[in-house]
């Protein structure tokens, strides 16, 4: 049943365990941030210390299960199972079930103040909408399911690799740099603040009619109903009712004109969205490629509020590894800095996302990426390759993380979500 291993002074043991329990302990251990073998070890230790066996566990369909335990623990477990006249398979199942019962599913850590993420850049075509959607999807993923995530060290490795030209579409990610982690399970509202309605269309929703109610009307102080009535769910089967969208309306083209007649217009977006905040942990605003009054309102909405920690809310800037993005970045940061000074508010940068990266484009791409990396503040928090899955997801009007959940882009979106968190 067991064979010694010298790699970490533990011994490998092989038994059988129902697939249901194997999956549950794997997920629960990840939720607690420990190795699966440590959970099994603790369960066996606690089971052996009980005065008697626990309630029988259904072991139908149990198949091979291997783990590593401290030397001698398996023999102690075998003796306890013999004393209690239960099979090793039943004893192991009871041990795992005992650990699960004493380590219930942890509560989702919800922010005291709804986090507000403003996804922006004055330049169009950099993929703000794709990043908005992917980030929101990653934040809303199921906490009781494991998803492949590129860990932080892999991002650092990828950024370093970008300094040397390669023929890969994006810097290679070693499989060892991928971890399977539970989803954050946050309640997320995506706000399509762009009159072009790209986010709305990409997620398969319908833009709001021009003669109806809209976010624009609420910001202009002329609502026609409850803004909450305009919100639509996104792919409940995948995101379990945690991901919602406030669709756009083409009337947002007129927003700057209408805001010019509104008192305290920089707070117009906040006044409109504040009633919704109690239902969400995170609100992500997909901004238009604009430097007008509507952008002022979006940036002000992302300012740091009283009692909010630095870096909880703020601006996430999406760029590409090419020169025009750098010019647009300067215009945007100048606007944000002006608002900081004029309104005396704290506006945090959450980071830079280099999107649609393809090192095959040569020196322009690699040197531009290095330029973004060199900025340091804000730092690069995401590197997303220019791959086909995102384009395909847009074509079929499905969220990327449900259309291609194991793609490199999906893995990168989850890494971005954890960097932003």
Q: What is the mean pLDDT of the chain?
A: 90
* Distance in angstroms (rounded) separating the CA atoms of residues 218 and 212: 12
Backbone φ, ψ for residue 274 (5° rounding): -55, -40
Residue 154: its pLDDT value, please? 57
DSSP secondary structure string for all residues of 322-349? SHHHHHHHHHHHHHHHHHHHHHT----E
Which tokens belong to 233? 């769910």
Alpha helices in 123-204 (DSSP H): 128-140, 152-161, 198-202
Q: Under a CB-based contact definition with an 8 Å cutoff, are residues 81 and 125 in contact?
A: no
Average confidence (pLDDT) over 112-126? 91
Residue 130: its pLDDT value, please? 96
* Distance in angstroms (rounded) separating the CA atoms of residues 200 and 189: 12
Q: Could you tell me which CATH number the domain at 115-420 has?
A: 3.40.50.300
Residue 269 CA, chain-centre distance (Å), reads 24
Q: Under a CB-based contact definition with an 8 Å cutoff, are residues 394 and 197 in contact?
A: no
Bridge-partner residues for 92, per DSSP? none
Given the structure tokens 């269309």, which residue do they identify? 201
Q: pLDDT tens, 152-178?
A: 665 666 666 654 444 444 445 555 588
Domain boundaries defined on the chain:
2-102, 115-420
Q: pLDDT tens, 208-227?
A: 999 999 999 999 999 999 99
* Distance in angstroms (rounded) separating the CA atoms of residues 326 and 318: 11
Residue 161: its pLDDT value, please? 60
Average confidence (pLDDT) over 296-311? 96
Residue 328: its pLDDT value, please? 85
Residue 145, pLDDT > 90, answer yes
* Distance in angstroms (rounded) separating the CA atoms of residues 254 and 323: 30
| Peptide linkage before 378 cis (omega within 30 of 0) | yes
pTM given for the model: 0.90
Q: What element of type H or E holds 65?
A: strand 63-69
């Amino acid at each position: 049943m067991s064979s010694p291993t010298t790699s970490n002074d533990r011994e490998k043991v092989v038994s059988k365990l129902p697939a249901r329990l194997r999956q549950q302990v794997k997920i629960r251990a990840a939720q607690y941030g420990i190795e699966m073998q440590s959970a099994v070890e603790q369960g066996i230790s606690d089971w052996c210390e009980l005065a008697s066996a626990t309630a029988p566990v259904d072991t139908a369909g149990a198949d091979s299960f291997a783990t590593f335990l401290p030397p001698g623990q398996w023999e102690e477990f075998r003796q306890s199972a013999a004393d209690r006249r239960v099979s090793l398979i039943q004893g192991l199942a009871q041990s795992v079930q005992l650990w699960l019962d004493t380590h219930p599913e942890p509560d989702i850590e919800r922010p005291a103040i709804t986090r507000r993420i403003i996804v922006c850049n004055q330049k169009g075509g950099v993929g703000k909408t794709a990043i908005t959607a992917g980030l929101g999807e990653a934040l809303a993923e199921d906490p009781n399911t494991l998803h492949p995530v590129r860990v932080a060290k892999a991002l650092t490795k990828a950024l370093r690799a970008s300094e040397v030209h390669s023929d890969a579409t994006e810097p290679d990610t070693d499989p060892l740099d991928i971890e399977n982690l539970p989803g954050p399970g946050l309640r997320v509202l995506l706000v399509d603040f762009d009159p072009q309605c790209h986010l709305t269309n990409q997620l398969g929703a319908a833009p709001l009619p021009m003669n109806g109610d809209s976010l624009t009307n609420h910001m202009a102080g002329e609502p026609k109903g409850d803004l909450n009535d305009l919100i639509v769910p996104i792919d409940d089967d995948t995101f379990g009712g945690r991901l919602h969208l406030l669709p756009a309306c083409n009337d947002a083209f007129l927003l700057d004109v209408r805001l010019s007649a509104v008192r305290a217009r920089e707070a117009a977006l906040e006044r409109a969205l504040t009633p919704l905040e109690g239902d969400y942990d995170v609100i992500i605003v997909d901004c238009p490629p604009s430097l007008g009054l509507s952008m002022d309102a979006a940036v002000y909405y992302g300012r740091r509020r009283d009692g909010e920690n630095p870096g909880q809310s703020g601006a996430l800037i999406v760029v590409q590894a090419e020169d025009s993005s750098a010019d647009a970045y300067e215009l945007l940061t100048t606007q944000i800095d002006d608002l900081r000074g004029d309104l005396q508010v704290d506006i945090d940068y959450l980071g830079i996302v280099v999107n649609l990266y393809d090192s095959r484009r040569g020196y322009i791409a690699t040197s531009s990426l290095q330029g973004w990396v060199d900025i340091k503040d804000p730092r690069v928090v995401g590197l997303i390759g220019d791959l086909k899955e995102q384009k395909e997801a847009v074509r079929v009007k499905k969220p990327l993380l449900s259309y291609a959940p194991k793609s490199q882009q999906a893995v990168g979106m989850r890494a971005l979500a954890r960097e932003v968190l």
